[in-house]
């Protein structure tokens, strides 16, 4: 397997979650309400899986390695664009958390913000994923030897292995800060 393989597999799961979110958006439109726990779960998925786990491998490993390569101007531009898009996804996710908190606290007007942010995510991620899968990943593969690619793949697996510990250490530390 090439290093881009796990990233593309993760894209497929993200796409499946986006399909679920689209179903929930239809429910919001029809019923004019949303389960705040679903929004919490969607935020957790986007924050931990799509951003920290998936984008973490891209930014902390793939892009780190590419910074040491003589990238073409176009490939460097696309990499920087992808980093900006990751930041955009984080901003939308934060806005979703704020809207969900308001909604949970009884502010019915926050439902529109929840719907808007979920819709933005469902429109943003497919284009972002397509750019990575069809443009950037194939182009970036040319910068690595087979040995470098396999070393990155091994680093991706190690990154994933540590992820669950990072997540739950963060959960405990969050509770500890509240005391």
Q: pLDDT tens for residues 64-93? A: 999 999 999 999 999 999 999 999 999 999
Q: Residue 165 sits in a domain of what CATH number? A: 1.20.120.520
The three state secondary structure string of the chain is CCCHHHHHHHHHHHHHHHHHHHHHHHHHHHHCCCCHHHHHHHHHHHHHHHHHHHHHHHHHHHHHHHCCCCCCHHHHHHHHHHHHHHHHHHHHHHHHHHHHHHHHCCCCCHHHHHHHHHHHHHHHHHHHHHHHHHHHHHHHHCCCCHHHHHHHHHHHHHHHHHHHHHHHHHHHHHHHHHC
With beta carbons less than 8 A apart as the criterion, state whether 60 and 159 touch: yes
Q: How many domains does the chain have?
A: 1
Residue numbers of the domain that contains 133: 4-178
* Residue 56 pLDDT class (50, 70, 90 cuts): very high
Residue 170 has pLDDT above 90, yes or no: no
**Dihedral pair phi/psi, residue 143, rounded to 5°:** -85, -5
What is the per-residue pLDDT for 37? Answer: 96
Residue 178 has pLDDT above 90, yes or no: no
pTM of the model: 0.91
């Amino acid at each position: 397997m090439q290093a881009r393989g796990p990233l593309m597999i993760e894209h497929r799961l993200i796409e499946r979650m986006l399909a679920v979110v689209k179903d929930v958006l239809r429910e919001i439109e029809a019923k004019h309400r949303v389960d705040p726990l679903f929004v919490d779960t969607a935020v957790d998925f986007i924050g931990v899986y799509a951003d920290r786990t998936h984008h973490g491998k891209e930014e902390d490993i793939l892009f780190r390695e590419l910074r040491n390569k003589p990238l073409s101007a176009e490939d460097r531009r696309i990499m920087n664009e992808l980093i900006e898009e990751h930041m955009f996804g984080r901003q939308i996710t934060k806005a979703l958390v704020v809207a969900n908190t308001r909604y949970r606290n009884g502010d019915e007007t926050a439902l529109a913000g929840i719907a808007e942010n979920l819709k933005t995510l469902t429109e943003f991620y497919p284009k972002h994923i397509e750019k990575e899968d069809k443009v950037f990943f194939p182009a970036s593969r040319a910068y690595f030897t087979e040995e470098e690619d396999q070393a990155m793949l091994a680093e991706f697996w190690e990154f994933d292995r540590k992820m669950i510990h990072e997540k739950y250490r963060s959960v405990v530390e969050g509770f500890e800060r509240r005391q």
